Amino acid sequence: MSGECFTPSSLEEAGRVLKQVLEQRRFAAILCRCSVNYKGRGSSWSSPGDRLIVVKPSGSIIIHGPQGFKPENWQPDGSTFAVSMSEGRLILVSMRKNPRETLTIEIEKVYSITSIGNPVKGAFYMYMSESEIRDYLKENPQLIEDGLRILEVEKPAGPGYVDLYGIDKNGVNVVIELKRVRAGEDAVKQLLQYLEFLKRKTGRVRGILVAPGFTESAVRLAYTAGVRLVQIDLKSLSDRIASSRRRTRDLTSFF
Amino acid sequence: MSGECFTPSSLEEAGRVLKQVLEQRRFAAILCRCSVNYKGRGSSWSSPGDRLIVVKPSGSIIIHGPQGFKPENWQPDGSTFAVSMSEGRLILVSMRKNPRETLTIEIEKVYSITSIGNPVKGAFYMYMSESEIRDYLKENPQLIEDGLRILEVEKPAGPGYVDLYGIDKNGVNVVIELKRVRAGEDAVKQLLQYLEFLKRKTGRVRGILVAPGFTESAVRLAYTAGVRLVQIDLKSLSDRIASSRRRTRDLTSFF
DNA sequence: GAATTCATCTGGAGA
DNA sequence: TCTCCAGTTGAATTC
């Protein structure tokens, strides 16, 4: 379906268009002067200003002010809408239960409403997530340490889960904690918790923290606690993963 | 300045308008069919689909697909833009340094471009954050327990910080963990960690978990571990805070 | 600048 | 539903 763009001459007219847009569950953007009131888990209030209201077919609403990456207010997928006029203002209310939250938008002036019906949803892929790195390291443990063998992924360990669990060339159990970003003291503490828990269960265990970088305090704590730090280069790993992905694809297209 | 709404008849025309919008740093929404490529801390790729691109005067860009509250891709305030044509496609590139990240949008078709120049930024206030609740409970400890006195806020305790620290009517030290949302097992575990740490330092310590609700497993763990659970009603607390805020304002306006 | 914690966190996987 | 954890997390506060 094609897109539509509308510049209303009155608030009443804008209200009619807005109602249609919401009923037909169109993907829409409303540029307007409004103030917003939110009450639910928190509460917020904003004074009149120019904002962009995004309404999605899935039932979410997002309100952006002229700056910042984050929206000022929002309501997630599955919210319900109601449009009304009150005291010369166009009122858009969005409600959600569980938790019960209400978003009330008081619109003074609508600059434009643009929308599209039945929007085509494009595919979206994210690469180099922690799980992707983890799965690659599981198949290529020598990148972490020579002679290392991985036995388990996401092994439960008391308070949480161990990213990788294996055994080193000397037969000692190894707990591996993986971070996609520079690791701080907290990552070492987390690893130490797992180690303490597993020590009581399986006896001797070593810890390895794998990350692209480490904070000073992380290095210090790791040293005193006997945790080994292994630095990985994300870029070269990304290249390796990409080429292994290509290889796999070649194989499947071959057979 | 007034808003503008534009339905381009060709990609070239759309490109010219887009360039103007970006140069004039207007607050704009572009409804279009596009695919997006991101490379930086992570990398993502998306196939052609209908998306809404939001551009802000502050230099951020946000790309929304037809569902979900979160944007598919984005770039925060302070990014730079470049518009070009290539192989019959309109290309919008957004760059950011530190970290170096690039967002490339390949536009097939523009449904509409709506924008406003010099948007009015409305004020925004958020109430009832965890810190606001914490500060109110610090001044009104009887809401947690009779005879309780608060001695410290955000007291360091090994792995993290204790929300409130005080002494009960029997002279026993008390650690209070506060959650603004329904508390689960993890909140009790966190409190137990603080308790273990402080027990070694100060001797006898009790724990109180304050939250609007508790999960079944949280209740079970709290019972076996001897942690007291105190339920607070966020709504009544919100009203109390609001009225105390009003009282303070009345005082300042009086003197 | 680095480090730490909160968020109306959201979202997803798993039990 | 609850638990756990990643996130291009962002944003604020503290040091």
User: What's phi and psi for A147, nearest 5 deg?
Assistant: 80, 5
Confidence of residue A4 (pLDDT cuts 50, 70, 90): confident
The runs of H, that is alpha helices, within B117-206 are 130-139, 185-202
Compute the average pLDDT of residues B36-57. 96
CA dihedral (B77, B80, B83, B87) in degrees, to 10, reads -100
pLDDT above 60: residue B251? no
pLDDT score of B252 more than 60? no
**DSSP one-letter code for A143:** G
| Residue indicated by tokens 């957004």 | B94
Contact A52, B54 (CB under 8 A): yes
Chain-centroid distance, C-alpha A107: 31
The residue that leads in pLDDT, A243 or B47, is B47
Q: Are B147 and B169 in contact (CB under 8 A)?
A: yes
Place B198 in a pLDDT band, splitting at 50, 70 and 90.
confident
Alpha-carbon distance B232 to B209, whole Å? 10
Q: Is B44 within 8 Å of chain A by CB?
A: yes
**CB pair distance less than 8 Å for A60 and B68:** yes
Inter-chain contact B77–A69, Cβ cutoff 8 Å?
yes
Residue type, A98: N
Q: What is the pLDDT of residue B255?
A: 41
Q: What's the predicted TM-score (pTM) here? A: 0.92
Question: What residue of A is the nearest CA neighbor of B76?
Answer: A69
Whole-angstrom distance, CA of residue A194 vs CA of residue A114: 53
**Does the structure show a pLDDT above 70 at B53?**
yes
What is the average per-residue pLDDT within B8-24?
97
- Count of residues making up chain B: 255
For residue A54, count other CB atoms closer than 10 A to its CB. 22
Q: Name the B residues in 118-177 with CB < 8 Å from any A CB.
A: 119-129, 159
* pLDDT beyond 80 at A110: yes
* CA separation for the pair B185, B179 (Å, rounded): 12
A 10 A CB-CB count for B20 gives 16
Using the CB atom, is residue A40 less than 7 Å from strand C? yes
Q: Per residue in B103-149, pLDDT tens? A: 999 999 999 999 999 999 999 999 888 888 898 899 899 999 999 99
With residue A249 as reference, give the H or E element that holds it.
helix A234-254
Q: Which pLDDT does position A147 carry in this prediction?
A: 97
What pLDDT score does A196 carry?
86
Nearest residue to B172 via CA among B200, B202, B209, B142: B202
Average pLDDT over residues B40-46: 94
Residue type present at position B189:
K
- Cα B21 from Cα A247, distance rounded (Å): 44
User: What is the Cα–Cα distance from A205 to A197, expressed in whole angstroms?
Assistant: 10
pLDDT band for B207, please (50, 70, 90 cuts).
very high
Q: Assess whether A6 (CB) lies less than 7 A from strand C.
A: no
C1' (C14) to CA (B17) span, angstroms = 49
**Is residue B160 over pLDDT 80?**
no
pLDDT band at B217 (very low <50, low <70, confident <90, very high): very high
Does A120 contact B33 at a Cβ distance shorter than 8 Å? yes
Q: Which of residues 235-254 of A touch strand C (CB under 7 A)?
A: none
Percent of chain B with pLDDT over 90: 71
More confident residue, B252 or B246: B246
Tell me how far the alpha carbon of residue B35 is from its chain's centroid.
28
Q: What pLDDT does B245 receive?
A: 66
pLDDT band at A251 (very low <50, low <70, confident <90, very high): very low
Please tell me the distance from the alpha carbon of residue B62 to that of residue B160, in angstroms, as a whole number: 34
Instruction: Give A 68-107 residues with CB within 8 A of chain B.
Output: 68-69, 72, 74-77
pLDDT of residue B248: 57
- In this structure, what token pair is assigned to residue A35? 């103030």
Check B69 against A75: CB less than 8 A apart. Answer: yes
- The mean per-residue pLDDT over the stretch A102-131 comes to 96
Gap from A42 CA to D3 C1', Å:
24
Among the residue ranges A32-36, A201-205, B152-156, B248-252, the one predicted with the least confidence is B248-252
List, in sequence order, every beta strand (DSSP E) within B87-186.
Answer: 89-96, 101-116, 124-127, 149-157, 160-167, 173-178
The reported pLDDT for the residue numbered B246 is 63
State the Cα–Cα distance between residues A73 and A65, nearest whole angstrom.
Answer: 9
Segment A161-194, tens digit of pLDDT: 999 999 999 999 999 999 999 999 889 988 988 8
pLDDT, residue A252, reads 46
Mean pLDDT value across chain B? 90
